[in-house]
Amino acid sequence: MNFLVKRMVMKRLDKEDKKFIAPHFRAGVVTPQDLRKIADVCEKFPESKIKLGTEIIIGGITEETRNEEFRRILDLPTFSVAGFCIRPVKICSGGFICDNNLQDSFSLGLKLDEKFSGRMLPFKMIISISGCARCCSEPMVRDIGIVACRQGYAIFVGGAAGARPRIGIRLIDNLSESEVIDTMERIIGLYEKMGRTPERLGMFIERIGFERFKQECQPK
């Protein structure tokens, strides 16, 4: 990269960086005071928006009755962190606090979360959606990854992070929003019917073969 290009890139990144305020909580550990402070300051700036990149998980309450009491007082929807089910859909900031998104991926992500998260399956499933090819929500290493492009959305399947990382395989391109939802329904339905515990989607695809999987995911 020559000097001028490098300077332009640095300037652009610096400008981008100044748009966001990202408190650094080491190891993702926050105190109730930290959260209250953020809430208080955000209230003074009503135009501010908050986007979490990962889940908030509250642990440390080991006594079952106290745990139940905490849930009752908290009175918020929760999700299973360990169950064989679809986890909350990971949605990038595109269309919320980032304007690089090529489609309304944020709204689609919310629809997918409402429709699919919590559904019981042979094993856990992680879905993510990104508004552009920068892939900030890491769709390439999710069981199902959706990436917005100029002509619609592409779907990648079989990716995983963790101990057995895999890169997802591109299944289909240029889908409309409703086609994404229909295709997801077919992928998940197939895995629900034929997957074997503890087989992640990528292992399931490997077992039945990608071509057969692709064929089964076509509209009938």
| Cβ–Cβ under 8 Å, residues 205 and 157 | yes
Binding positions for ligand SF4, 10-69, rule CB under 6 A: none
Binding positions for ligand SF4, 74-133, rule CB under 6 A: 92-94, 98, 100-101, 130-132
Nearer to ligand SF4, 98 or 121 (CB): 98
Classify the C-alpha dihedral 99-141-91-107 as positive or negative. positive
Closest CA to 142 of 96, 86, 182, 195: 86
- Give least dist CB 149 to ligand SF4, A: 11
Nearer to ligand SF4, 97 or 169 (CB): 97
The kind and range of the H/E element at 214 are helix 210-216
Q: Show the CA angle centred on residue 124, arms to residues 117 and 141, nearest 5°.
A: 90
Binding positions for ligand SF4, 200-219, rule CB under 6 A: none
Nearer to ligand SF4, 9 or 120 (CB): 9
Can you tell me the distance from the alpha carbon of 141 to that of 117, in angstroms, rounded to the nearest whole number? 18
- Give least dist CB 139 to ligand SF4, A: 9
Beta strands in 26-126 (DSSP E): 90-91
What are the backbone angles phi and psi of residue 8, rounded to the nearest 5°? Answer: -65, -45
- Residues 6 or more apart from 12 whose CB is under 8 A from it? none
Nearer to ligand SF4, 101 or 183 (CB): 101
Query: Does residue 134 bind ligand SF4 (CB under 6 A)?
Result: yes
Round to the nearest angstrom and report the end-to-end CA distance of the chain. Answer: 50
Nearer to ligand SF4, 53 or 165 (CB): 53
- Give least dist CB 128 to ligand SF4, A: 10
- Residues 6 or more apart from 169 whose CB is under 8 A from it? 156, 157, 158, 205, 210
Nearer to ligand SF4, 159 or 195 (CB): 159
Please give the size of the binding site for ligand SF4, defined by CB under 6 A: 12
- Give least dist CB 212 to ligand SF4, A: 31
- Give least dist CB 199 to ligand SF4, A: 29
- Give least dist CB 101 to ligand SF4, A: 4
Residues found in the chain:
220
- Give least dist CB 94 to ligand SF4, A: 3
Instruction: List residues binding ligand SF4 (CB under 6 A).
Output: 92-94, 98, 100-101, 130-132, 134-136
